[in-house]
A and B are shown apart, each in its own frame.
Chain A
């Protein structure tokens, strides 16, 4: 009997477009695997539809707050509907980048020093003084990013005070908290972790080499603008260490079924944890599907396995 899978995609987040693309790709793969697939927007009729249709499994490709901050996961749990992906508690820990970094640091994993500040703190404490102090303590170049977002939206590398101010304004356009992180030079890796019931397994690391030097929104979603090397061109021992960090992150952040852990490996071969993705992108240029393919599996087989794990 084929599984009835309801895919949630779209929403009103800044990443709506990516979510819709991810949803359609997952739908294609699951349809090929023999599932009966329906794609739905999260809207005012969703709850009624879920309760009436009671799909076997829900697969959310919603990016942004509702999809990744635990809200949709809590609602699905409450409705006793099975779903692919992390439970609400794990989603909450990973979605908030500063929280995820604190947890990883407590587990002994290197993560770039950072500070997270809400916009109100700048108004109270004088922005110029705060930024100057942060720049002095963390040293340029710095990475400025919204504390909760994806697809590199609102993320900038800054090298001086003028760029710093500008980047803060851009980042605050995406949310009320901004994280400023020390820049670590090195090889950018994305390691996807899959757990089909036998424990988390790291898929081959994807090395990211954007043509422009920066892995921004355009570089992520315009085919041809970034070279990906799978597996990454790093020594086996380094890749093993990076995979261990990825699995540690998946476990420590209580993620379930699948996640994508973003890392930088510095010149000494040390992997630095940057962030964990609760709902990894599934578009044609996204990193998790690349890793699945590189591992020798088909997307249809792997996604079907994830559905079946969720059904257990």
Chain B
């Protein structure tokens, strides 16, 4: 056929030719679009890792707000320094002591949530192809940043006691033998996202030693450490090594993610560069949010609020485990002693990502395990977040999930494995 009419081509992106190579990963995701339904009240969302802010003492926040606006509005509404508010940093030092971390206000920097700290650290250390060692599975937000930096993400075997030091050592030896540059170990040692497991005390020492021996900087992310349901977790890795560990913390889980206030404690040389990078990226973290957090910490009983959260999330964890035992008795689940998450392993052959549309039809949402791997694994896993729905809805959601899994098993038995 001959072309008799030539149409004008468009692709709705005039700047396609100009993007950096790393922008290739930034595409629309069908799975992400499916999550749009979680805002509907009919849907029980076990997907997003959100705190239950309905349990927050709003009067305390309002009182902190009023106090701030009546005493220091001229500072709260102004630009701040790149390192963050000094009074808040002093208060954070006291909070970190609860995890055994002794740090100086000089080595602490405020960030826009700890996700921002992770972005700055990755930008500082990672060239294309550099290796980041992570747990297996690892936090989706970290995997996303490392992927965007075009790093090589190496998952290290992880079990109910957390990251395996033996597997870590093996991975380091193997990668070094392959000529790879290993830059970072990223770890969430307490009630990890997504697995819920906690790195044991004994393993913490071995992990520290292995990283010291091989010159690998540890990035310790600890957003859930204060949300323990039984015993307090072991001391932070940073408690034992001030030079080899960069420590990240956040107010997102114990106060409010809407304020976007996190922090990073780093060795002085790294901290210096982080502050410069922070100023370059955003001038200063949000002054108003920092000062509101600071006022809240100074004037309210925040430790009671955290204790209330512990009780609330313990109840929800119990509801989730009870529902799993009742409706999904054959599935393996982690049994976290803190934090927000269960990690389920599906029957062989099931694919959590392919099953998600069926779950949406049944009005339940979860996060497929594939989100927590940088190497395509995780199809057989599901992350359940029990922190946000009510305990009753956690049970309803898991019951619905059980029906979805039954239906998917039926399809699998009919058509064979989808692998």
Cβ of A183 within 8 Å of any chain B Cβ, yes or no, is no
Known: A172-B411, A234-B1. A227 touches B10 (CB 8 A): yes
Complex Cα spacing A221 to B2, Å: 31
Known: A127-B414, A285-B12. A153 touches B30 (CB 8 A): yes
Cβ of A272 within 8 Å of any chain B Cβ, yes or no, is no
Complex Cα spacing A189 to B101, Å: 63
Please state if B5 and A169 are interface contacts (CB–CB under 8 Å).
Answer: no
Cβ of B141 within 8 Å of any chain A Cβ, yes or no, is no
Interface residues of B in 345-368 (CB under 8 A from A): 351, 354-358, 360-361, 363
Known: A20-B36, A169-B412, A173-B357. A225 touches B11 (CB 8 A): yes
Please state if B29 and A231 are interface contacts (CB–CB under 8 Å).
Answer: no
Interface residues of B in 362-419 (CB under 8 A from A): 363, 408, 410-412, 414-416, 418
Contact indicator per residue, chain A 11-37, by CB within 8 Å of chain B (1) or not (0): 010101110100000000000000000
Question: How many residues from B make CB contacts under 8 Å with A?
Answer: 43
Contact indicator per residue, chain B 270-305, by CB within 8 Å of chain A (1) or not (0): 000000000000000000000000000000000000
Query: Which residues from B are CB-within-8-Å of A172?
Result: 358, 411
Which of A50-58, A235-243, A297-305 has 4 or more CB atoms under 8 Å from chain B?
A235-243
Query: B171 to chain A: closest CB distance in Å?
Result: 32
A174 partner, pick from B3, B5, B351, B357, beta carbons under 8 A:
B357
Please state if A16 and B8 are interface contacts (CB–CB under 8 Å).
Answer: no
Query: Which residues from A are CB-within-8-Å of B27?
Result: 218, 222, 225
Complex Cα spacing A12 to B364, Å: 11
Complex Cα spacing A173 to B30, Å: 14
Please state if A165 and B418 are interface contacts (CB–CB under 8 Å).
Answer: yes
Query: Which residues from A are CB-within-8-Å of B213?
Result: none
Interface residues of B in 20-59 (CB under 8 A from A): 27-30, 33-34, 36-37, 40-43
Please state if B28 and A221 are interface contacts (CB–CB under 8 Å).
Answer: yes
Complex Cα spacing A229 to B3, Å: 13
Q: For residue B419, which residue of chain A has the nearest CB?
A: A166
Please state if A284 and B12 are interface contacts (CB–CB under 8 Å).
Answer: yes
Please state if B415 and A168 are interface contacts (CB–CB under 8 Å).
Answer: yes
Query: B370 to chain A: closest CB distance in Å?
Result: 14
Please state if A122 and B414 are interface contacts (CB–CB under 8 Å).
Answer: yes
Complex Cα spacing A230 to B11, Å: 11
Cβ of B269 within 8 Å of any chain A Cβ, yes or no, is no
Cβ of A98 within 8 Å of any chain B Cβ, yes or no, is no
Complex Cα spacing A144 to B366, Å: 26
Complex Cα spacing A47 to B412, Å: 40
Please state if A12 and B42 are interface contacts (CB–CB under 8 Å).
Answer: yes
Complex Cα spacing A292 to B338, Å: 55
Please state if B12 and A223 are interface contacts (CB–CB under 8 Å).
Answer: yes
Complex Cα spacing A207 to B1, Å: 15
Please state if A123 and B414 are interface contacts (CB–CB under 8 Å).
Answer: yes
Please state if B5 and A234 are interface contacts (CB–CB under 8 Å).
Answer: yes
Known: A127-B414, A227-B9, A229-B9. A235 touches B42 (CB 8 A): no
Cβ of A277 within 8 Å of any chain B Cβ, yes or no, is no
Please state if B5 and A170 are interface contacts (CB–CB under 8 Å).
Answer: no
Please state if A224 and B415 are interface contacts (CB–CB under 8 Å).
Answer: no
Query: B35 to chain A: closest CB distance in Å?
Result: 8
Please state if A228 and B9 are interface contacts (CB–CB under 8 Å).
Answer: yes
Q: For residue B34, which residue of chain A has the nearest CB?
A: A14
Query: Which residues from A are CB-within-8-Å of B78?
Result: none
Please state if B16 and A218 are interface contacts (CB–CB under 8 Å).
Answer: no
B28 partner, pick from A154, A217, A229, A239, beta carbons under 8 A:
A217
Query: A110 to chain B: closest CB distance in Å?
Result: 17
Query: A263 to chain B: closest CB distance in Å?
Result: 15
Complex Cα spacing A227 to B354, Å: 28
Cβ of A233 within 8 Å of any chain B Cβ, yes or no, is yes
Query: Which residues from B are CB-within-8-Å of A285?
Result: 12
B33 partner, pick from A17, A169, A204, beta carbons under 8 A:
A17
Please state if B3 and A233 are interface contacts (CB–CB under 8 Å).
Answer: yes
Contact indicator per residue, chain A 168-180, by CB within 8 Å of chain B (1) or not (0): 1110111000000
Cβ of B13 within 8 Å of any chain A Cβ, yes or no, is yes
Known: A153-B30, A165-B416. A170 touches B10 (CB 8 A): no
Most B C-beta atoms less than 10 A away, residue of A10, A16, A218: A16
Known: A173-B358, A217-B33, A222-B28. A119 touches B411 (CB 8 A): yes
Query: Which residues from A are CB-within-8-Å of B9?
Result: 209, 227-229
Query: Which residues from A are CB-within-8-Å of B361?
Result: 14, 174
Complex Cα spacing A230 to B363, Å: 40
A218 partner, pick from B11, B29, B37, B356, beta carbons under 8 A:
B29
Known: A14-B360, A227-B9, A229-B9. A170 touches B354 (CB 8 A): yes
Interface residues of A in 103-150 (CB under 8 A from B): 119, 122-123, 127-128, 131
Query: Which residues from B are CB-within-8-Å of A279?
Result: none
Please state if B7 and A230 are interface contacts (CB–CB under 8 Å).
Answer: yes
Query: Which residues from B are CB-within-8-Å of A169?
Result: 351, 354, 408, 411-412, 415, 418
Query: A149 to chain B: closest CB distance in Å?
Result: 9
Complex Cα spacing A231 to B12, Å: 16
A18 partner, pick from B1, B5, B33, B416, beta carbons under 8 A:
B33
Query: B416 to chain A: closest CB distance in Å?
Result: 5
Please state if B43 and A12 are interface contacts (CB–CB under 8 Å).
Answer: yes
Known: A14-B34, A170-B354, A217-B30. A226 touches B418 (CB 8 A): no
A224 partner, pick from B12, B37, B357, beta carbons under 8 A:
B12
Please state if B36 and A122 are interface contacts (CB–CB under 8 Å).
Answer: no
Please state if B5 and A230 are interface contacts (CB–CB under 8 Å).
Answer: no
Query: B259 to chain A: closest CB distance in Å?
Result: 27
Complex Cα spacing A187 to B155, Å: 43
Cβ of B177 within 8 Å of any chain A Cβ, yes or no, is no
Complex Cα spacing A235 to B36, Å: 42
Cβ of B4 within 8 Å of any chain A Cβ, yes or no, is yes
Complex Cα spacing A10 to B36, Å: 9
Q: Which residues on B are within 8 Å of A, measured CB to CB?
A: 1-13, 16, 27-30, 33-34, 36-37, 40-43, 351, 354-358, 360-361, 363, 408, 410-412, 414-416, 418
Minimum-distance CB pairs A-B, first 8: A224-B13, A229-B7, A223-B12, A17-B36, A17-B33, A223-B13, A222-B28, A173-B357
Q: Told that A12-B43, A119-B414, A122-B415 touch, could you supply 10 new A-B pairs with CB distance under 8 A?
A: A14-B34, A122-B414, A123-B414, A169-B354, A173-B354, A218-B28, A221-B33, A223-B12, A234-B4, A236-B5
8 CB contacts below 8 A, A to B, read A12-B37, A12-B42, A16-B37, A16-B40, A165-B415, A172-B411, A217-B30, A224-B12
